Amino acid sequence: MGTLFSDAERHLQKAFEHIEVSPDTIERLKYPKASIKVRVPVRMDNGDLKFFEGYRVRFDDTRGPTKGGIRFHPNVSQDEVASLAYWMTFKCAVLDLPYGGGKGGITVDPKKLSRFELERLSRAYINALGDFIGPDIDIPAPDVYTNAMIMGWMMDQYNTIHRRIAPAVITGKPLAMGGSVGREDATATGAFHTIQAILPKINLDSPETTFAIQGFGNAGAILAGLLHKAGYKVVAVSDSKGGIHNADGLDIPAVRDHKETSRTLESVYCKDDVCTLYPSDRISNHDLLELDVDVLIPAALENQLTADNAANIKAKAVFEVANGPTSYDGEEIMVNNGILVVPDILTNAGGVTVSYFEWVQNRSGYYWTLDEVNQRLEERMVRETENVWSITKEKGCSMRTAAYIHALGRISEAMDARGTKDYYLNKV
Ligand code: NAD
């Protein structure tokens, strides 16, 4: 499997140095439990029948039905989907969600499809998966270039096939179709709780603490707003076009308003009137990562902090809101330089946690208030952040290794509960 998988495997090997797990567990985590590759037929607007390649992988379901997003992207491959499903297995276990890990995707550039074609593709993918997914089997959610409306079409199609209303088959749905309040902000809100729990431990819980955030999308922009509201200084933010920097702190609500109307951060600094309103300098994405700030938050893409730039990172702590922003080698360098790296499988798990809450609400048919969702999210994020931190201190390891140890403990417990070699040989 690909780099993502080999990086995750190397992290797991490190965890094995600190925790004893049965050979059964190690064997079971080597390969996905089930994978499906499908050819998805779509009647295009011009009358052609086109076939797209789709995948779904259920990596491990020892702790419950598998859970993970569906990605629409030209680079989607079976390997990538399997690696992401592997990752989800550990993320769900870190947060103690009763799920295993899954993932899905279609190799497609959705920007090249009309809305009609996108809907037909989404429904055809569910037709092709058939019984591979289900509320008690495997529960998809949005991922890169899929959204609530696509989840709604997919749920609809599942219902049509199965001739019943089953909202719990998919999460991240529109509110009017059984989505949960708080889901849209969940990743940023969860990350905010993890940050709030960690900062006092590293003496950075001061209004003078500075943040740089790469990525001003769903996760990055909402998190920037929460940090600003809490009184911290967000001094730099960026999107795919570039970034802005102001050492005294940016007026994040104003920047967000501006981005919402102009659709770009660039115009925050390139127009005179806005420059005067929100003073800031242009900064490249590359330079943003290497800024002299207290906290760096990659919230955009994979592989941003690597052996190429890790030695130049000046932040004291990195909170991974994006999935896989730090390469294995990049992290080794940063950790050796005393930088605390708080891993994605903890920091960005607020999204899957509120997805779990959505599934619970769908199954019970009783819907929670925003306060209830947020309170339960905070409880879980803080509890599991404290658990991972305690393991870090106890074992003297990185927070990522601690997160893997924590997850592995839960996964192997669920495996061993079904019987171990020693049990069958009457040794215990
Ligand atoms: P998004 O598409 O809403 O936003 C992505 C942002 O990154 C955009 O502002 C885009 O302009 C910016 N970007 C793209 N290329 C860039 C570059 N080269 N440099 C700087 N910025 C760049 O996506 P999102 O939902 O906010 O997700 C961001 C990351 O967080 C992804 O890694 C995603 O997997 C991860 N994540 C998101 C969620 C969630 O619920 N949204 C949950 C878990 C993890």
The answer, yes or no, to whether any atom of ligand 1 lies below 6 A from the CB of 240, is yes
Q: What is the pLDDT of residue 265?
A: 67
Spell 365-378 as b/e; 16+ CB within 10 A means b. eeebeeeebbebbb
Q: What is the pLDDT of residue 206?
A: 95
Ligand 1 centroid – CA 300 distance (Å): 4
Q: What is the pLDDT of residue 273?
A: 44
Ligand 1 centroid – CA 261 distance (Å): 19
Rounded CA separation 422/424 (Å): 6
242-245 and 317-319 beta bridge pairing: unpaired
Ligand 1: which residue has its CA nearest to atom 36? Answer: 322
Query: Do 161 and 133 contact (CB within 8 A), yes or no?
Result: no
Domains of the chain by start residue, with CATH: 32-172 (3.40.50.10860), 180-428 (3.40.50.720)
The answer, yes or no, to whether any atom of ligand 1 lies below 6 A from the CB of 214, is yes
Q: What is the pLDDT of residue 261?
A: 80
Exposed, middle or buried by CB within 10 Å (0-12, 13-18, 19+), for 73?
middle
3-state secondary structure of 219: helix
Query: Do 305 and 327 contact (CB within 8 A), yes or no?
Result: yes
Rounded CA separation 196/219 (Å): 16
- Two structure tokens written together for 355: 């997805």
Q: What is the pLDDT of residue 274?
A: 42
* Residue 103 bears catalytic tag: yes
pLDDT digits (tens, 9 = 90+) for 60-100: 999 999 999 999 999 999 999 999 999 999 999 999 999 99
Q: What is the pLDDT of residue 262?
A: 73
Which residue numbers in the chain have pLDDT < 70? 1-4, 263-279
pLDDT digits (tens, 9 = 90+) for 173-229: 999 999 999 999 999 999 999 999 999 999 999 999 999 999 999 899 999 999 999
Rounded CA separation 327/144 (Å): 20
The answer, yes or no, to whether any atom of ligand 1 lies below 6 A from the CB of 312, is no
Q: Tell me the average pLDDT of the chain.
A: 94
